[in-house]
Amino acid sequence: MSGLYVYAVVGSGFSGPLGDGLAGEPLRLAGEGAARAVVGEMPAPPGAEAASLAAHDAVVRRLTAVAPALLPARFGQWLPDEAAVVEWLAAHGRELAAALARVAGCEQMTLRVGEAESPAAMEPEPSGLGPGALYLERRRRAAERERSLPEIAPLREALRPLVRDERIVRSESRLRATVYDLIERGAAEAYSRLVAEAAARLPEWRITASGPWPPYAFAPRPLG
């Protein structure tokens, strides 16, 4: 018995062209309302081989180029029939509609920030605080780092006019953070140029930018 493989969610105004899926199956729209799923019929979800992963991404990229707003689905999202797709869309309709509005006309750039050969100096601990106050101050600083990524503040300030939304994922390894920036389509060249210029002024950090990508990092939990 075949099921429906979900590639993406698009807005209600999108009608195609859709083309074929990763197995050569014709794609179609499923569901009604503000968010609709782009699906292809196949007997089972594909295995996670490199070729299938690349083919899935190629389909998502092609759809992103023609859809005003698109939320990519994670690889392997398969539902047994159209009724299940409709139920799934209804259960997450408000969240999906809000996310579609956020990514409309946008694509994703990915910024990776790591230590250069010489590790950056650690921020000194505040002095004169008791254990409780020190704990709260550490929490405050950690929260501030999550929001602002102060290590590359000049770069983020330079990118601010191009960035519509942002997700920061910090790490305690030498790769200090991965930053997902949502930018308007067509702004990738300007974004990459600003990154290259700012990175030259921040030699203590290894900064790389890649993209543009479909907005994978901005797809809500039901999809990502």
Annotated domain spans of the chain: 3-103, 106-218
Which one, of 197, 196, 149, 201, lies nearest residue 170 by Cα?
Answer: 149
53-78 pLDDT tens trace: 999 999 999 999 999 999 999 999 99
Q: What is the CATH number of domain 106-218?
A: 3.30.70.1430
Cα(161)–Cα(213) distance, rounded to whole angstroms?
19
15-43 pLDDT tens trace: 878 999 999 999 999 998 889 999 999 99
Q: What's phi and psi for 43, nearest 5 deg?
A: -70, -25
DSSP state of 182: E
120-169 pLDDT tens trace: 444 566 666 666 565 566 666 655 555 556 677 888 889 999 999 999 98
